[in-house]
Every structure is written in structure tokens, then in C-alpha cells.
Amino acid sequence: MRRIVLRSETDWDGWRQATRALVQARVEPGAVKWVVARAVGGEADPLPETTGTFHVPRALISLASVAIQAREPERFGLLYSLVRRIGAGEKVLEDDTDPDLSMVRRMALAVRADAHRMRTGLRYLPVTEDGGVRYLGWFEPAHFVLPANARLLARRYPDLKLSIVTPDGSAHWDGSSLLFGDGLRHAADDEALQAWWETHRDLVLDQASADVSVSEAEALDEAPRPPDRPAIGPVVLTVKPDPGLQLAGREAGSCHRCPLYQPATQTVFGEGPADAPAMFIGEQPGDQEDTIGRPFVGPAGQMMDRAMEEAGIDRRMMYVTNAVKHFKFVARGRRRIHQTPEVPEIQACGFWLDVERTHIRPRLTVAMGASAARAVLGRAVTIGRERGRPIPMADGTTAFVTVHPSYILRLPDRAAKDREYAALVADLRTVRDLIGAG
Ligand code: SF4
């Protein structure tokens, strides 16, 4: 058995170098033991001496660069096995039924969801440091997403001092260098985080190093910010989860009020701070949301994030949910095709929307698309006629109607997409003005 020691859980360079040598030496996947130095220490067996090259499809590099951040220990060997089989001429990437490929794809999906959770869910505690401020963020990742995403956050906030602390480790940005150090096992609240920082700060920063290899593809996942799109500053608030809302979310997990629970994977309840000034409501979870269990994480959610940011709205401060909490679809082969929910389904799920609105009590309720508008206003709504202006509600709050991002994604041509996206951003700027965000 050949022992390969990687320097960290995300040692992309080390894994690539070893994989290249092992594939060329035709080493069987079962003859390799992959371990991480931090976890076990010890010496690695020397890599075989090789010269030639072999081609790995770009799609596999891209997939592997994300999946390597998964927490499953078998990922290194699984990825090596995929590369070796492709190197041997197998058309693995064209076979959707291949169990190894399916597992790697599931890992990558889970990593992307976790990275999205980190980028949209991080909140910071400001602590005084050398006469200035350092923003201290706490996050418990499901996977090893800190290194790649710390780079994105550092680029997002080039002028700030940031530290992101997790149980796996910590990342520290001072405006010029990004260092990685030890983490904190568990932070119950802001006070615990601050106390740990005050006692460990010097030790953590002294021992921090920049020596963390992450996958290039994931580090380049977010395009550089255009100069006309200033970064929204770090959200500084302590988010105390609303216990009543958490309980409602758990109860909705076993809801049978309409038939939509049957084929769906899980209930996708809303998320966001309990004191959010606005609630954004979509139609229903999509394919990815159904798999991951969080609202607005798929392509439509990513477009919404971009449009909100462009309009000066910080999604992390908003409550985001759907009119219907289960994914309605028809299966066509291996694909699941979205189906618009019927009025009785929207009405049945209105129970949960009312629960969410009662707890959040948003000043503004933003309905995205016709299903959400029907759920909020209790009547059929023609989006083109009612979008873009405040609509008074019987309870004294205000509703606002705009399009659902998936409508823009479905438009056939680029020009129409650009036009409708600009109109969505314009609507969201009105939303920003109505809630006084920005
Ligand atoms: S869609 Fe809503 S009402 Fe229907 S089962 Fe799911 S949670 Fe219940």
C-alpha cells in the first residue's frame, strides 16, 4: 500500500501532483492510502518517477476542484479513481449512471451549498484592534470551504481587517495578506467568540501561515467586482434565531396539507434574520433547493443574489422564502421538470407563509412572480400591471410585486434577458428605497 500524505484537507496541489504521478505509473486506486498530515502526521511514500503527460477533461478538473473540499475522507481516492479510469480511456463523464461520478457530483453539490451558506450567512462581530476595527466572523461549515471562500471574502472587502473563525481553522485578512491559523472548537455566542479571540489572538496570528493550497477553479468562482458595484459592508449584528420560527420550520418538515410533500425530497422553509425589514417570496423550491434544503440557492437564487447586490440590498439581512414549500415537478427520465403550483396548493401552503409573516412582521413583502403575488395578495395578479410600486396591505404593511428570476432565465435571447434583468434591478432599487436599506 502506497501512503500519500497531503498537507491539508484541501491540498489541491498535492493531490494533483500525486494523482499525475500515480496515474502514469498505473497504480491501482486500491493500492493507495490518502491521508492528511494535520490529522495523522508522518512521512509520505515517495511518488513514482514519471515523465509523460496525459489529458484530463476540463469538466473533471472543475468538478474535482469543488468535490475535494467535501468532508468525506474517501474523496481523494474516489477522485483519483475517476481520473485513472478516464486516463485509461473510459467515457466516465458521459455516463450519468456511473456510481463514482454520481457520488462526486453529490459531494460537489453539497460543497457549493455550504460555500453559498458561508458567503451569504456570515455575520461579523466588530472588535477593537490597534485603534481600528477587526471584524470577527464565526461559521460552522459542513465541508472544508473556508480556504477558497476566505479568498473571495478578502477580495470582497479589500480595505477591512477580517477574521473568519471555524472549528476547522481560521482565516485572517488584513487588507494585504490572507493567513490561515487554528480554529475554535465551538462558539456558543458572540461573547464566547470575543473572549476566545482576546485570549488567543496573538497565538493564532503568530502561528498563522499562508501555506494553504486551494483549488484554482473554486478560487476563481466569483468574477472580480466591477468598479461601479461597491461591496456591501460586512453585516454587523448578532442573529438570535427566533425559537418560534425554528419550531415552525421543524413542524413544516412533516406537513401533509397538500399532496406536494409526496414526491419531493424535503420541505424547504424560509431563512433569514427574525428582524428582517423585508420578506422576499418566490414561487417554490427548485431542483437544487429540493436537494439541498435551502431556498434560493440554485440558478434563480444566484441571479437574485446578484440583482440584490447590484441594487444595494444585502440578502443576509432579508428573510427569503417561497409561497409553496415543496418542489412540484414531473420526472422525465433522470430530469425533474418544474410544474407551476395550483391555486389550492398555494392556499394550503399559505398557512406556513402566514406563520413566517407573523414571526418576521416585515415592513415590506416582496412577491416575485405570479404564484407568490397570489399568495401574498390573495388574488390573481398580472405582474406587468402591478410590478414596481408599493401596494398597501390590510394589515398596514406594504407589498411589492416583481418578476421571479427564473422567468428571466427562461427567456430565449440575450437581449431580452439583459432588458428584464435591468428591470428587476430597477425594481429592487425601489425596494431598497422603501425599506431604507443600502
Ligand atoms: S407544499 Fe406546503 S402545504 Fe403542501 S405539503 Fe408542502 S409544506 Fe405542506
Query: Which residue's alpha carbon is nearest to atom 4 within ligand 1?
Result: 258
State pLDDT tens for residues 40-63. 555 666 666 766 677 788 888 888
* Domains identified in the chain and CATH numbers: 2-117 (no CATH), 122-219 (no CATH), 243-435 (3.40.470.10)
Helix H or strand E segment including 17: helix 12-24
Q: Is the CB of 143 under 6 A from ligand 1?
A: no
Query: Ligand 1 centroid to 382 CA: how many Å?
Result: 25
Residue 398: strand pairing partners: 364, 392
pLDDT at 224: 36
Burial 179-201 (b: 16+ CB within 10 A, else e): bbbebbeebeebeebeebbeeeb
pLDDT at 255: 96
Helix H or strand E segment including 34: strand 32-36
Q: Identify the three-state secondary structure at position 289.
A: helix
What pTM, to 2 d.p., does this model score? 0.63
The owner of cell 490518502 is 34
Q: Is the CB of 348 under 6 A from ligand 1?
A: yes
pLDDT at 109: 85
pLDDT at 253: 94
Q: Is the CB of 261 under 6 A from ligand 1?
A: yes
What is the mean pLDDT of each successive set of 10 residues along the chain, which is 438 residues long?
A: 87 89 89 80 65 77 90 94 89 85 90 80 79 85 88 77 88 85 78 84 75 49 39 49 85 95 93 90 92 84 89 88 96 84 96 95 96 96 96 94 96 93 97 82
Sign of the Cα pseudo-torsion (407, 413, 414, 415, in order): negative
d(CA 318, CA 270): 10
Residue 178: strand pairing partners: 173
The owner of cell 474517501 is 74
